[in-house]
Chain A
């Protein structure tokens, strides 16, 4: 599923993934116990082989919104010589991830049907 999302999103056009940023964050946090902002940007870059780059200006507002919506919990820990803010899914966040992923998968299917209807016949 994740690979599918990444293939779909790694089209080089940032407008295509704008609406899916929340889903990407939730999916990553579902797979990892907790993550910090910079780690999320690097993980996305790594998974998409650099095709998809989440900008700092988009990532943090999304994380803060998800936190305010009660989908993420925050924990601050001292790492090396600085403080690090970790995000993790709340119970509500875990449920929301499932529904967001289903929504996105559905959308991908619809787009595939539109862009390449032959694939369905095969």
Chain B
């Protein structure tokens, strides 16, 4: 006996009730549960769908699906960060290091031209904060739209919107208190700021413009349904 379409829908509801809100995770669990139920029916054909499901779910242990969701989220975030880190390192190798060094030097020279350097620093930081918040808002809006249209939430999308956890590290607001308006901007301070700022921009750039599209492409290849969104 095979699990029918209506029962498949029940399995999706079951996973949702057990705190799996992500469609990409639900799909794998639904197939697993359905396989397990069909296997039980082969041995005990009179077993009801609900009873078989109860037995199958017990196999996931006391934590149910929660550990799977948590570890899958961690694995995806790690993947995102690893990709971003790998790409960032490229900017410190030849030939890209030339452009990186030039950018740092340019910023250093521009800052040297101004007397009230802290105002330029704040202006630059607000500028990138705008890019950062614009990206987050755009992604959240897109996720909401997809959810409204299809009723599905994707874990992949959530990880992308949070830049694989880099969202906290790239929140420029946390660095604002480091700006001291009374400080002396000596060469070392200027060079440190220029380097940190360029590294920040590069990390934000590779995350938004390279890793995120790559992950979306990967998800499209894996899930034909996602491609249609």
Chain B interface SS verdict (over half): helix
- Give bound CA distance, A60 to B27, whole Å: 13
Nearest-CB residue, chain B, relative to A62:
B71
Interface centre among B35, B67, B225 (most CB of A within 10 A): B35
Residue ID in chain A nearest B4 by CB atoms = A81
> With contacts A37-B28, A83-B27 known, is A57 near B222, CB below 8 A?
no
Give the residues in chain A near B72, CB-CB below 8 Å. Answer: 60-61, 64
Pick the contact of A38 from B32, B63, B71 — CB < 8 Å? B32
Q: Please determine whether B31 and A85 come into contact, CB atoms closer than 8 angstroms.
A: yes
How many residues on the A side are at the interface (Cβ–Cβ under 8 A)? 26
How many residue pairs bridge A and B at CB < 8 Å?
Answer: 75
Least CB distance, B160 to chain A, in whole angstroms: 14
With A60-B72, A61-B75 in contact, is A82–B8 under 8 Å at CB? yes
Contacts of A64 in B (CB 8 A): 68, 71-72, 75-76
Which residues, 53 to 111 on A, are CB-close (under 8 Å) to B?
Answer: 55-57, 60-61, 64-65, 67-70, 74-76, 79-85
Asked if B95 is at the interface (CB within 8 A of a chain A CB), the reply is no
Given A61, A68, A76, A80, which contacts B27 in the complex, CB threshold below 8 Å? A76
Binary flags per residue of B109-150, CB closer than 8 Å to A gives 1, else 0: 000000000000000000000000000000000000000000
Q: Which of A74, A81, A85 contacts B5 (CB 8 A)?
A: A81
Interface contact A68-B68, CB-CB below 8 Å: no
Could you tell me the distance between the alpha carbons of A64 and B75 in the complex, rounded to whole angstroms? Answer: 6
Q: Which residues of B contact A84 (CB under 8 A)?
A: 31
Q: Is B36 an interface residue (CB 8 A)?
A: yes
Size category of the binding interface on chain B: 20 to 34
Contact B60 A83 (CB under 8 A): no
Chain B residues in 8 Å Cβ range of A39:
35
Judge whether B36 and A38 touch: CB under 8 Å.
yes
A-contacting residues, B51-92, CB 8 Å: 59-61, 63, 67-68, 71-72, 75-76, 78-79, 82
CB pair A65 B8 closer than 8 Å: no
Q: Is the CB of A57 within 8 A of B27?
A: no
Q: B222 touching A75 by the CB < 8 A rule?
A: yes
- Contact of A38 with B79 in the complex, beta carbons under 8 Å: no
B16 an interface residue at 8 Å Cβ cutoff? Answer: no
A/B interface sample: 22 pairs, CB < 8 A: A37-B28, A37-B31, A37-B32, A38-B32, A56-B59, A57-B60, A57-B67, A60-B28, A61-B68, A61-B75, A64-B75, A65-B75, A67-B75, A68-B78, A68-B79, A68-B82, A70-B79, A76-B27, A76-B222, A79-B31, A81-B2, A83-B30
Q: A57-B68, A60-B71 are in contact. List 10 more A-B contacts (CB 8 A).
A: A56-B60, A57-B67, A64-B71, A64-B76, A76-B222, A81-B8, A82-B3, A82-B30, A82-B31, A85-B27
